[in-house]
């Protein structure tokens, strides 16, 4: 149980933290999505790393091979990647609409605009 033997786990934790921090700390909506992407990517590593055995081969039964790597984590993460791409695409599309509607992609500015609207109500805004 050394630092090196659990290298992939430490990296996973680091990436999770970095991603979450960016989501929380940044005001720029695009940067938040980048953080979210890093956060999700960390999970891919968590799944894939244990699937690889040193010396393991693809699980095709043949003479001379006794150690196989588990392919299931890779398949799962393929699904998770698809989900992640869809989320990111949707998030970016929303940011485009937000930029059209507010003229800004800075969270503080947008909240300030909303607060202003609340103070002096105007008729409904069309989303864009």
Partner 1 sequence: MLTQHFPALLVVVPLIAAPLIVLVRRSLPSWIIALLATAATFGIALSLLDRTLAEGTLSYAMGSWAPPLGIEYRIDAAGAFVAVIVAAMGLIVMPYSRVGIAAEVRNEEHYLYYALMMLCLAGLLGILVTGDAFNVFVFLEVSSLATYVLIAMGRDRRALMAAYQYLLMGTIGATLYVVGVGLLYLETGTLNLADMATRLPMASDSRAVLAALAFITVGISLKIALFPLHLWLPNAYAYAPSPVSAFLAATATKVSIYVLMRYFFSIFGESAVFDARATGAILLGLSLAAMFIPAIVAIFQHDMKRLLAYSSVSQIGYITLGISMDSVDGLMASAMHLFNHALTKGGLFLVLGGVVLRCRGASFDRLAGLGQTMPVAAFAMVVGGLSLIGVPGTAGFISKWYLVSAAIHLGQWWLVGAVLASSLLAVIYVWRFVEVAYFRAPPADHPPPGEAPLSMFVPALLMIGGCVYFGLDATWSSEVATRVAEVLMNSRSGGQ
Closer by beta carbon to partner 1, 57 or else 75: 75
Tokens representing 56? Answer: 């393991």
Spatial distance between the Cα atoms of 100 and 116, rounded to a whole number of angstroms: 18
In angstroms, give the least distance from the CB of 64 to partner 1.
25
In angstroms, give the least distance from the CB of 11 to partner 1.
14
Let me know if 5 is exposed, middle or buried by CB neighbors in 10 A (0-12, 13-18, 19+): exposed
Closer by beta carbon to partner 1, 36 or else 64: 36
In angstroms, give the least distance from the CB of 128 to partner 1.
7
Closer by beta carbon to partner 1, 50 or else 59: 50
Closer by beta carbon to partner 1, 66 or else 96: 96
Q: Tell me which residues touch partner 1 (CB under 8 A).
A: 16, 20, 23, 29, 32, 36, 39-40, 43, 46-47, 50, 73, 76, 79-80, 83, 86-87, 90-91, 94-95, 97-98, 101-102, 110, 114, 124-128
Cβ atoms of residues 50 and 73 within 8 Å: yes
Cβ atoms of residues 88 and 37 within 8 Å: yes
Sign of CA pseudo-dihedral 16, 21, 24, 27: negative
């Amino acid at each position: 149980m050394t630092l090196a033997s659990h290298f992939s786990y430490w990296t996973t934790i680091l990436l999770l933290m970095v991603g979450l921090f960016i989501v929380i700390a940044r005001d720029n909506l695009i940067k938040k999505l980048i953080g979210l992407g890093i956060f999700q990517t960390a999970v891919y590593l968590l799944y894939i790393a244990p699937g690889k055995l040193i010396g393991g081969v693809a699980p095709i039964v043949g003479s001379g091979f006794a150690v196989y790597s588990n392919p299931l984590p890779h398949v799962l993460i393929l699904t998770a990647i698809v989900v992640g791409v869809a989320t990111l695409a949707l998030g970016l599309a929303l940011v485009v609409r937000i930029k059209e509607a507010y003229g800004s992609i800075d969270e503080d500015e947008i909240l300030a605009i909303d607060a202003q609207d609340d103070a002096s109500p105007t008729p409904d805004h069309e989303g864009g």
